[in-house]
Amino acid sequence: MTEPSDTALIVIDVQNDFCPGGALAVAGGDEVVPVINTLMQNYDSVVFTQDWHPSDHVSFAANHEDAEPFSSIDLQYGAQTLWPVHCVQGSAGADFHADLDTGRAQMVVRKGFRAGIDSYSAFFENDRQTVTGLHGYLVNRGISSVVLTGLATDYCVAWSALDAARLGLDTTVVLGACRAIDLEGSLAKQIDAMRHAGVVLRDSL
């Protein structure tokens, strides 16, 4: 069944580095691909996001002396988790999963390309002020409802969903089309945050 024209499917970061074998692999990350490919057939509006980091990105543990991946530092915009080097611009790891039907995407939002600031959300970078332009695009397309899928549930999907709800969009996350990192209880925390914000959580559509 085709979804209403004012609803967009947003596919978050289904990239090689977040899938098994990747630099920041999410367990079962590749399992979302066939589910998302099926969902996309029901939407007139489909947006992809793509992590797109320079090699000197501030979020990479390798760029901080003696820092370990998954530790945290304080930056001018707040706490920043340090990650393994991943999704470097132009690398194979930054490419979308080979089986993802990329031809369905009408827009690709690249995020995290500024070296000094990370970007989880599809709408705002982590300073919570710098916009990606996605909201303006959706408004101009007459989109008032979004359905989110992708990687990872507790980071880029959750941050995007929380921002979408805050911006007044009717927001649904399809948990069956997402997979989580679950770093120190992050999944349960973000599930609670999304529910509290009015995000609809569904196992499937």
Q: Which amino acid is at 96?
A: F
Cα atoms in the Cβ-side hemisphere of radius 13 Å centred on 19: 19
Secondary structure element (H or E) that encloses residue 50, with its range: strand 45-51
Secondary structure element (H or E) that encloses residue 150, with its range: strand 145-151
Residues marked active site are found at 13, 111, 156
Question: Cβ-count burial of 140 within 10 angstroms (0-12 exposed, 13-18 middle, 19+ buried)?
Answer: exposed
Report residue 182 as tokens. Answer: 């679950």
Closest to 118 (Cα-Cα) out of 59, 192, 48, 199: 59
Other Cβ atoms less than 10 A from the Cβ of 172: the count is 20
